[in-house]
Chain A
Amino acid sequence: MKHADEYRDPALALLLADKIARAAYARPQYRLMEFCGGHTHAISRYGIADLLPANVNMIHGPGCPVCVLPIGRIDNAIELVLQHPLTLCTYADTLRVPASDRLSLMQAKARGADVRMVYSAADALRLAQEDPAREIVFFAIGFETTAPSTALAIRAADRLRLPNFSVFCNHVLTPPAMSAILGSTQAQGSGGAGIDGVVGPGHVSCVIGSRAYEPVAEEYCRPVVIAGFEPLDLMQTVLMLIHQINRNRHEVENEYTRAVTREGNAMAQELMEEVFVLRDSFEWRGLGEIADSAYGIRQKYARFDAERRYGIARRRASDNKACECGAILRGEKKPADCRVFGTACTPDNPLGACMVSSEGACAAHYSYGRFRASAAAQTAGLAL
């Protein structure tokens, strides 16, 4: 496949693997967090961990928008669509996320709620135009990647004066979450948990630009390298991070130059600025409350805000107590360290955030990485 195979060349991969192995001499451990779920998925899918030396560890970050959505917000969405005669449009991944009382949007749909899967906010907007008698609510989730398209849909609805379209906004921002994670791990010192460098978000950075991470890298003295999603992108990024770590540098570098600039997409940024406003604080599943980390809808567009239109109240719902998602998202624990991993918590019956979407750290490890863990245990003579 043109424009993809070039970034999956096994010969180049071996070359890079060799360079990484030679570069990773300065420290006993290099702990690199890939922030994005898309990166986690690519690492698992192409078996990249196999090509890295034993002292280079990839830690899976919180960059899966479905995973970090707090249960309370899904409870809100379920309540909304069960209690009002409306259509809730949602991305497919959100359908299966377990909420309180063993419900999910898919379960709500089975109980008669009108929940429909869409591929974009524009699809939801089109539904509202086609069926003016029906209230359409778009369940907006995602980072700065999906936020501009939601903003665009809201602005279009405003221009079309659509009375039957609104958005339940749950867009969250990556730089504050990255700060929160680096801040919490730094406090623990060098003993045990810690992150030496960050594989920075690729698609998000197309929108907000690589400069958005400069304050984070500066404040926590950690290198950030923005990476593409092909396996060679990730290998090259790992090498760039190791070089920075070896030289005690902590800059924001850009490996994904074919898509990302330092400034990002100005038009998308203006659009988000026009439609959205920062919330004081927002809950992240597994990470807790993070200040200035999410978008709400500006007063100017209030009539398209489902929270205002339907008086959606804030709900708190806690994760399963046995679940280690928080520690896994902060890079302090690995999926296999959690005692419910693979037993009570599986992709088919997820208890915690990281098992929910295929991009979640636990789901990715469950689907792609388990045999490695079991092979290691077998060689060690352990019974699993």
Chain B
Amino acid sequence: MRQAWAQALDYGKGCVDMSHGAGGRAMAQLIEELFVQAFDNEWLRQMNDQACFAVPAGRMVMSTDSHVVSPLFFPGGDIGSLAVHGTINDVAMAGARPLYLAAGFILEEGFPLAELKRVVESMAGAAQEAGVCVITGDTKVVERGKGDGVFITTTGVGVVPPGVDISGDRARPGDRVIVSGTMGDHGVAIMSFRENLSFETAIRSDTAALHGLVADMVRAVPGMRCLRDPTRGGLATTLNEFARQSGVGIRIFERAIPVRSQVSAACELLGLDPLYVANEGKLVAVCAPQDAEPLLAAMRAHPLGRNAAEIGEVIADAHHFVQMQTTFGGSRTVDWLSGEQLPRIC
């Protein structure tokens, strides 16, 4: 049923123009030749404005995330893979199995079609690798100067296995805090690549879909209490969120927190604190003390949890502070981030 277009999309020199969002033939061509072809699945092939799908019984999860990263392409990933991983992870952090994604694109007039193709193909690759289909979508074009190349919003739905109840308000004093790997890789990779900052490191973004790791964790410890991916605001923000939601305090040990030496060196140079730097392929878990060992074992057996580590514990604290025992031997508060540490990184 594919229509033959007078001329194929020009990925060499072509750019997005206002007609690609105007609802006419140019838009239809862009959708068919680029999006449908890349994301190819039975729902998209139907060419409807929505996707109809059957749902399994049980609790569903839904999450949405807008992606405005600059630069669009960075060491270890790009806005396309990030948009897929980000939403899959948000769904997975309920202990859920992600099922479907929807994607909305806001394109800026003048954005090269070649770059758009690169982004869409990266998205399709990430979705395929994660085993999750992009089943519906939308495209809009804004005038030059009113966007930043491309913004992508993805929405995901998933299903929670029976017996799993993971929520940020379930941490109790005595529980253990575990991270799945090194902190701060994504933020530093972005920072090192950003224009105006000539600064080179071998650090790559950790962007990854974590639902496979989460599935193994849920299997090992179905009673896991809290789970979250420490994206914007980093580990410090996630821990403060848990503390506030659960009405507890948290005490962590700086020595136990995995941070790559290149990341800590870069942070040192830039005046950043790795605890506040974004991650896109890591998670923080809270579990009962007796579950810590089996949970760590399950995590370390998964490629994305090899460097998993227990970093602290939940304590009773009416002020809901997060405290850290420093490697130096003192202690300090790990407060909410004030202002912004890194502008626009996810």
Please list the residues of chain A having a beta carbon within 8 angstroms of any beta carbon in chain B: 1, 4, 8, 10, 13-14, 17, 44-51, 96, 118-119, 123, 231, 346-348, 358, 363, 366-372, 374, 378, 384
Are B321 and A370 in touch, CB under 8 angstroms?
A: yes
Are B328 and A10 in touch, CB under 8 angstroms?
A: yes
A103 to chain B, nearest CB (A): 16
| A-chain residues with CB within 8 Å of residue B333 when the two chains form the complex | 367-371
Are A47 and B319 in touch, CB under 8 angstroms?
A: no
Any chain A CB within 8 A of the CB of B332?
Answer: yes
Known pairs A1-B261, A96-B339, A347-B338; A10 contacts B329 (CB<8 A): yes
| B contact patch SS | loop
Query: How many B residues face the partner with a CB closer than 8 A?
Result: 24
Alpha-carbon gap, A366 to B326, bound state (A): 17
Alpha-carbon gap, A44 to B323, bound state (A): 12
Chain B 306-346: CB-based contact to A (< 8 A → 1; otherwise 0): 00000000000111010101111111110100110000000
Are A374 and B196 in touch, CB under 8 angstroms?
A: no
B315 to chain A, nearest CB (A): 11
Are B330 and A47 in touch, CB under 8 angstroms?
A: yes
Alpha-carbon gap, A372 to B264, bound state (A): 27
| B-chain residues with CB within 8 Å of residue A8 when the two chains form the complex | 327-328
Q: Which residue of A lies closest to B318 (CB)?
A: A378
A141 to chain B, nearest CB (A): 16
Any chain A CB within 8 A of the CB of B42?
Answer: no
Q: How many A-B residue pairs have CB under 8 A?
A: 76
| A contact patch SS | helix
Are B268 and A4 in touch, CB under 8 angstroms?
A: yes
| A-chain residues with CB within 8 Å of residue B197 when the two chains form the complex | 119
Chain B 51-62: CB-based contact to A (< 8 A → 1; otherwise 0): 000000000000
Known pairs A1-B261, A4-B268, A374-B321; A46 contacts B335 (CB<8 A): no
A366 to chain B, nearest CB (A): 7
B196, B329, B332, B339: the one contacting A123 at CB < 8 Å is B196
| B-chain residues with CB within 8 Å of residue A231 when the two chains form the complex | 328, 330
Q: Which residue of B lies closest to A347 (CB)?
A: B338
A238 to chain B, nearest CB (A): 13
Alpha-carbon gap, A4 to B330, bound state (A): 17
Known pairs A1-B268, A4-B268; A47 contacts B339 (CB<8 A): no
Any chain A CB within 8 A of the CB of B22?
Answer: no
B196, B261, B321: the one contacting A118 at CB < 8 Å is B196
Q: Which residue of B lies closest to A50 (CB)?
A: B330
B122 to chain A, nearest CB (A): 29
Alpha-carbon gap, A45 to B272, bound state (A): 12
| B-chain residues with CB within 8 Å of residue A348 when the two chains form the complex | 338-339
Alpha-carbon gap, A10 to B328, bound state (A): 5
Any chain A CB within 8 A of the CB of B47?
Answer: no
Are A48 and B330 in touch, CB under 8 angstroms?
A: yes
